[in-house]
Structure 1
């Protein structure tokens, strides 16, 4: 179904950001970029999609890549989904493209998303706090209806975010919109939709574990934190009840796979669980093992 050689891959990173387009346009307003860099004490250069592909190819990994369309909430033009789709078509051995469509676009957005899946997009990314919607307020439901119908996953940011941190009023970012418990309603309303909750969900880790344990098609990606900072209950569940539902994600380029994997190697994870986290669970969650329809 893709150009991926699954057997040759050492890992699949399900969380890599596209922060700049081919013309130098950034994915977020400058104030958010600067505040986020200060919050994480990070000073990284946003890689192009071609550079991202080369980075993962060198490591024999694949990466889910996406941007965030939050134009209605921020007034900032989003990076083009078409550009991401084009880059993934040029680098099908390493890039797995996800679309981002502002939920405020309603049914028009749903039609756009459908056409993007036809172009090769393998899922859809949401950031409720930045996009300014609650996952269960139904504004994103037209998009989720398409995702469920076409069998592609929806990836939701959960927990705190560094975007807007330190700005007056947090730059208008509402943290509560990314409480993972809101996704419990989504999982009920879309029982056949694969949902991936991004990040250890500080300060709502227990809520995320509860939803992922209770709802069979809800997964957790482990991006955005070094594994050495994972809450103990997350590690415990990853080793047991959720060993088939936790996914390697880095948050590239903010956190690199090199750093994440080095710290993961020192985490007390059972030997038979490690390959599931690094690749096996993602293959299933992303539908990468499904064959093309004739």
Structure 2
């Protein structure tokens, strides 16, 4: 018996490492390129974590992708793509500004030809209206180019949920990830359970990342949050940290407090991202 217990004790860290590896963090900001990447890895190591893959973007925080300078956006996208080639576990997430019109569409085509799978745009930090027709033109083109469109959905701009819902309905051939699943307005997304009952309305093209789950893990609405995850569809939900604003360690700690089955956890931690991105 003592030998068995000793063997189990020796195997425990190995089993934990295997579990930790089975994570794809789909929302990481590398504001300072390789230096930010080194910091991200160092914080994972300090927390005893590792990731299978992670999706990284260059803009946000001090770096903004504003309209009117598409050449600068292209150069920064190229730097991110080059960084991704050096680090095979990194999934580059390019960006454009919808108001750059044809230049934005051309950049989407270009980054897609270089193997990019994800495009991030952010109504709040980039200063555009998700209901603007130029946004619809862009996301349709992105979808036709094989890109998944990641959009901020923290409910920090007016009618955020409603505009994104209508955008997804108007571009049924484009797959979307809505980051933060509505933030404190997450209840709105239970509407998808009803949308599925309307024949021909909803194309099942909306996915969510749950960066910001740290807000709900010890909250009075934790059960409602889990209920929403199941109503939008466990198969449509991805784990994400939004580093450096939130760490993956804190994100996973909060995620583990949600009343989900092991099968549901596995899908959210990595299975759904693999399926969506063809990894």
Output the TM-score relative to the length of structure 1.
0.73
For residues 57-99 of structure 1, give each alpha carbon's deviation from its aligned partner in whole angstroms, at most 9, with x where no partner exists: 960331111133532399xx7681111110011111x101111
1:64 has 2:60 as partner: no
Q: 190-199 vs 55-64, which deviates more?
A: 55-64
Residue 268 and residue 187 in structure 1: after superposition, are their counterparts in 2 closer, same or farther (change >3 A)? same
Q: 8-17 vs 211-220, which deviates more?
A: 211-220
For residues 14-67 of structure 1, give each alpha carbon's deviation from its aligned partner in whole angstroms, at most 9, with x where no partner exists: 111122246xxxxxxxxxxxxxxxxxxxxxxxx523544676696033111113
Partner of 1:19: 31
For residues 92-136 of structure 1, give each alpha carbon's deviation from its aligned partner in whole angstroms, at most 9, with x where no partner exists: 1x1011111011211111101211111221111011112122222
SS at match of 2:101: helix
Q: Is the 8 A contact 1:16 1:250 kept in 2?
A: yes
Paired residue total: 241
Q: Is the 8 A contact 1:209 1:234 kept in 2?
A: no
Residue 108 and residue 53 in structure 1: after superposition, are their counterparts in 2 closer, same or farther (change >3 A)? farther
Q: Is the 8 A contact 2:68 2:100 kept in 1?
A: no
Residue 50 and residue 82 in structure 1: after superposition, are their counterparts in 2 closer, same or farther (change >3 A)? farther
Partner of 1:187: 168
The answer to which structure, 1 or 2, has the higher relative contact order (CA under 8 A, 6+ apart) is: 1
Q: Is the 8 A contact 1:15 1:65 kept in 2?
A: yes
Residue 55 and residue 152 in structure 1: after superposition, are their counterparts in 2 closer, same or farther (change >3 A)? farther
Pairing partner for 1:228 from 217, 236, 239:
217
SS at match of 1:71: coil
Q: Is the 8 A contact 1:239 1:270 kept in 2?
A: no
Output the TM-score relative to the length of structure 2.
0.76
Structure 1 segment 268-279 matched on structure 2, within 5 A: 268-279=259-270
The runs of 5 or more residues in structure 2 that have no matched partner are: 1-18, 196-201
Structure 1 segment 157-176 matched on structure 2, within 5 A: 157-161=152-156, 175-176=157-158
1:199 has 2:180 as partner: yes
1:262 has 2:253 as partner: yes
1:120 has 2:115 as partner: yes
Q: Is the 8 A contact 1:223 1:248 kept in 2?
A: yes
1:284 has 2:275 as partner: yes
Give the RMSD, CA atoms, in angstroms. 2.8
Structure 1 segment 33-182 matched on structure 2, within 5 A: 47-52=35-40, 59-68=50-59, 69-72=64-67, 80-92=76-88, 94-161=89-156, 175-176=157-158, 179-182=160-163
Identify the structure with the greater helix proportion.
Answer: 2
Partner of 1:165: none
In 2, Cα distance between equivalents of 1:199 and 1:241: 13
Pairing partner for 1:218 from 206, 219, 230:
206
The runs of 5 or more residues in structure 1 that have no matched partner are: 1-6, 23-46, 162-174, 289-294
Q: Is the 8 A contact 2:55 2:91 kept in 1?
A: yes
Task: State the 1:208 CA deviation.
Answer: 2.8
